Amino acid sequence: MSLEDLTARARIRDAAIKLFTERGMEKTSILDIAEAAGVSGGLIRHHFGSKDGLREACDQYVYDELLKFKMEALEKGSADAGFLPTFDARQLLLRRYLGRAMVDGSAAAARQFAEGVDETEAYFRAAGLGGPDPRGTAAALVAMTGGLFVFHGPMADVLGETPNTHEATLRIMAAAGHLLTHPLAGTELLDKAREALSNLDSRERNEDG
């Protein structure tokens, strides 16, 4: 494959990631991607076969890039206790893409979410955290933190910040951190929710029996 082919393939992929994030896969056509990438629809089919093939390539690329970013952040964080990851516009786009891909039914996005839940659950169990349902707590935490990136643009707008900037991300993360460290509800509400869930499970078992 020539350098020109590689460059065209990357332009197509990057254009598709941006459009899939903004519009969703169903509302994005091959012609839309071709126009944004400055190529022909035939070249997209040459490289990726179809829109589904292109989406799969985008999913895998985003998955690999976010994993790389995560590993780099872990390595730097271990070496420097004061290290804080920098979430630039590209990282935010990839995270927003992942959230949109989850909604669109991407297998790669679902796999990354499941891996995040597995890792968080393992940490909770090792640290004695997560309450009586560590996996449920882990899933809720991963979903909530992921949602911060999915809704990054609207949140930045209402806060008067510039979307897709590191500064906006830090403010959003600080606000989320405050909620996690200063719960709005007491344990009574959680106990009632667990009791209601237990009662529901009991009724369902009785009905099945």
- Which residue's entry shows tokens 């990136």? 149
Q: What tokens appear for 32 in the block? A: 């839309």
- Mention every residue, 6+ apart, whose C-beta is less than 8 A from residue 99: 109, 146, 147, 149, 150
**Could you give the CA distance from residue 171 to residue 19 in angstroms, rounded to a whole number?**
26
Q: Do 170 and 80 share a structural domain?
A: no
Mean of the per-residue pLDDT values for the chain? 82
Task: State the Cα torsion 129-133-135-138 to the nearest 10°.
Answer: -50
pLDDT tens-digit map of 39-85: 999 999 999 999 999 998 998 898 888 888 877 766 765 555 555 56
Number of domains in the chain: 2
> What is the extent of the structural domain holding 202?
151-209
Q: Do 163 and 146 share a structural domain?
A: no
pLDDT tens-digit map of 73-127: 667 655 555 555 666 778 888 888 888 888 777 787 888 889 889 988 998 899 8
Q: Do 145 and 189 share a structural domain?
A: no
Q: Do 127 and 40 share a structural domain?
A: yes
- How crowded is residue 120: how many other Cβ atoms within 10 Å of its Cβ? 21
Q: Do 168 and 121 share a structural domain?
A: no
